[in-house]
Structure 1
Amino acid sequence: MPLISVSASGPNHDHARPTWNLRPTNTTQQFRGLSVVSRDTVWVSGTNGTALRSHNGGETWANVSPTLAPENSTDFEFRDIQAWSAQEALVLSIGTGNLSRIYKTRDGGKSWKPTFINQEPTAFYDCMAFENSRHGIAMSDPVNGKFRLIETWNGGATWAIVDPSGMPAALDGEFGFAASGTCIEAAAGRWYIASGGVNPGRVFRSSDGHHWKVANSSITGGAAAGVFSVRFRDTKHGIAVGGDYESPTGNSANAAWSDDGGSFWTKANKFPGGYRSGASWVPGLDHIAIAVGTTGSDITFDGGKNWTTFDNGTFDAVECANKEACWASGSKGRVARLDWH
């Protein structure tokens, strides 16, 4: 249930308010992977090798989980998913060694083909992002002292390791969070990486995915804390959210904003209501973004400077293709579409 009414257009405008409309999936899996194609077509992925797809706005869901025989499909955690249509999608499995892998479908999930299986024992892939239907990058926790990246130029059909020489050194204990598929971001021709494990968490930025710079995020980091999600709406304006997942109601220094492309980050004036694992801009509504976490959902009308909680349900991931196509997913099979009233 919504906690308060908030305006979708900011002060002195109409008084539409966002509410989550749960769309039952008839499963109890946890869905941290979420990809929104449209208001009607959405994919989710998560625990026990599960992937679902709806093409009717969540009225019904098709179980399109990969069959990975002779391996046990339930051994895999699909923490990220990227879809371009009701037919074509990729899922990313996390884990050490060859548990980290990527599968691709071209037939709506009837069949899946492995396109990447990690062979580096110390790698652990967390998330992936695409700037278009061809060019994508997936991110692993540091290998040999630097975040490991792999890149595709053919929609995920093949992948190659990115030369690490252009990546700044990771700090001792630094890593990414495989919490919502948004620890790497592609926006307006640029790339961003969110990290934690160090204080403060950091945000890496690149104009080509190969040569990177890094900045402190102003978000408090620690063993279970830092930046969980970084999102940009253009080349200048970005938001970052996070916190400490072991202290889910804590909301001290768990969000920041940037207006210079990520070179400098400023703490929010009013923070989200707790740890937040995912965020998304709402395309078509300038300055408006949604953040979600295990203790609730928040909205900002001013580009991340101030956040207001509007729901206390649990979600892990959120993605908006446009105002009419905002979705969230999380534990116990929870998937919802955002409606504006």
Structure 2
Amino acid sequence: MLAPACGAALAAAGTAPAHSVPQPTPQRLSWEAKDSATDARFRGLAAVSRSTAWVAGTKGTVLLTRDGGRGWRDISPPGAGALEFRDVAAFDARHAVVLAIGEGEASRILRTDDGGATWTETFRNADPKAFYDCVTFFDRRNGIALGDPVDGRFRVLATGDGGRSWRVLPSGGMPEALPGEAAFAASGQCVVSSGPRDAWIATGGGAASRVLHSADRGRTWTATRAPLPADDPARGVFALAFRDRDHGLAVGGDYRAGQPSERAAAVSADGGATWSTAVRPPAAYRSGVAWLPHSRTTALAVGPTGSEVTTDGGRTWNGFGTGSYDTVDCAPGGGCWAAGEKGRIARLAVRSGR
């Protein structure tokens, strides 16, 4: 029988006796599809719990479920049909922030405090050279949003009031960007955080794929090379996930269909200061990655050609599905979700029994 798997159960499976909790082997895992009643492409995803999740995508679409995906409420901001939402950060079932990408004024941030009944625009980009990609929060008040390089350095916005207002941080603490380097707005995971102060940026498009790390909420950054495909606008690190301030995963590759991505994943145990290529990486380009909550070893990766699971901290990855998904997220208390093209939304399920 297939039962929806909470993250805590899968996490426990990594260390508990085999007879107590189903093991998170590829044969036991599957994505349980949910009907979104839309054809929007969802690259923004926020898993609040096993029952509650937010998605954000094309045509200004924002959906919310509170019943495990059986029903989705269309809570799209009025008049947002021309916006391209690529990220959503949710604090609970009522409070969330969505980010729209694009050049100039197309890059915007909106916030809701009533589950999407009303929205307030809290940031609109006025710099024609800026293009924002993704957003992350350290807690309910403090967060940052990442923009592509302006005048040779990545641009970072910061908020200290839960996304109600934003300010551009000084660029003096940001290393110079490589020629052609940018972030990929592919899954809402090009900037991620762990704990109260640490954040990481995933980059590509330049001569090297890089990961930038900040230990002071985005004021200063250090950069290191990651061993993922590079030296092409379509290659790089597309998504990051850190389970604490030391242990991180990076996934990416070459997003063009049919192009090889032999080194599509890497792992770090020192806060992103160094990275090692996965011994057995995902089969192809992957755009999203997430640790299962409370697990030291288990994580999921997704992309347009399938999904993988690792149970050894990212050293080896094993496929468990061929469906197309752009992003994946696991709620702190349990429940993993994926979303992607043509309205695809799914919740992770684990097969019980032998």
Q: TM-score, structure 2 length as denominator?
A: 0.91
Q: Percent identity?
A: 45
Amino acid at match of 1:176: A
Q: How does 1:3-14 map to 2 (within 5 A)?
A: 9=13, 13=18, 14=22
Q: CA deviation at 1:230?
A: 1.0
Q: C-alpha distance in 2, partners of 1:83/1:195?
A: 24
Alignment deviations for residues 292-337 of structure 1 (CA, whole Å, 9 cap, x no partner): 0000001111111111111100000000014741000000100000
Match of residue 110, structure 2, among 96, 103, 107: 103
Secondary structure of residue in 2 paired with 1:164: coil
- Report 1:48-59 matches (<5 A): 48-59=59-70
1:51-99, Cα deviation, whole Å (9 max, x unpaired)? 000011101000000003xxxx221000001111111111100000000
User: Is residue 218 of structure 2 the alignment partner of residue 218 of structure 1?
Assistant: no
SS at match of 2:55: strand
Amino acid across the alignment from 1:201: S
Q: Give the secondary structure class of the aligned counterpart of 2:172.
A: helix
The gaps in structure 2 that reach 5 residues or longer are 3-9
- Structure 1 residue aligned with 2:5: none
- Equivalent residues in 2 for 1:316-327, closer than 5 Å: 316-322=326-332, 324-327=334-337
Give the distance between the partners of 2:45 and 2:58, measured in 1 at CA: 13
One-letter code aligned to 1:20: W
Contact 1:99–1:117, Cα closer than 8 Å, also in 2? yes
Quote the residue 2:83 is aligned against.
76
Distance in 1, matches of 2:74 and 2:157, equals 28
Q: Work out the CA distance in 2 between the residues paired with 1:248 and 1:38.
A: 35
Post-superposition shift, 1:284? 1.7
Aligned equivalents of 2:289, 2:36: Cα separation in 1: 22
Matches within 5 A, 1:40-55: 40-55=51-66
The one-letter amino acid paired with 2:51 is D
- In the alignment, does 2:200 pair up with 1:192? yes
Task: List alignment gaps of at least 5 residues for structure 1.
Answer: none
Task: Please state if 1:241 is matched with 2:248.
Answer: no
Deviates more, 1:8-17 or 1:181-190: 8-17
Distance (whole Å) between structure 1 residues aligned to residue 50 and residue 258 of structure 2: 30
Q: Distance in 1 between matches of 2:14 and 2:136?
A: 30
Relative contact order, higher structure (CA 8 A, sep 6+): 2
User: How many residues in Structure 1 have an aligned counterpart in Structure 2?
Assistant: 332
- Matched to 1:213, the amino acid is T
Deviation at 1:121, TM superposition (A): 0.5
* Residue in 1 that maps onto 2:101: 94
1:110 to partner: Cα distance: 1.2
Report if aligned partners of 1:87, 1:105 keep a CA contact under 8 Å in 2: yes
Aligned to 1:275: 285
Work out the CA distance in 2 between the residues paired with 1:272 and 1:293. 10
- Would you say the 8 A contact 2:14–2:295 is kept in 1? no
How far residue 231 of structure 1 moved from its aligned partner, in angstroms, is 1.0
Q: Whole-Å Cα distance in 2 between the matches of residues 205 and 303 of structure 1?
A: 20
SS in 1 for 2:81: helix
The Cα shift of 1:251 comes to: 3.0
**In structure 2, C-alpha distance between the alignment counterparts of 1:138 and 1:219, rounded to whole Å:** 24
Q: State the Cα deviation string for residues 110-158 of structure 1 (Å, max 9, x = none).
A: 1111000001101110000001110000000000000000000000000
Partner Cα separation in structure 2 for residue 248 and residue 202 of structure 1: 24
**Corresponding residue number in structure 1 for 2:323:** 313
User: Residues 297 and 310 of structure 2 are in contact (CA less than 8 Å); yes or no, is this contact kept in structure 1?
Assistant: yes
Whether the 8 Å CA contact 2:309–2:319 is kept in 1: the answer is yes
Asked if 2 retains the 8 angstrom alpha-carbon contact of 1:316 and 1:331, the reply is yes
Q: Runs in 1 of length 4+ with deviation above 4 angstroms?
A: none
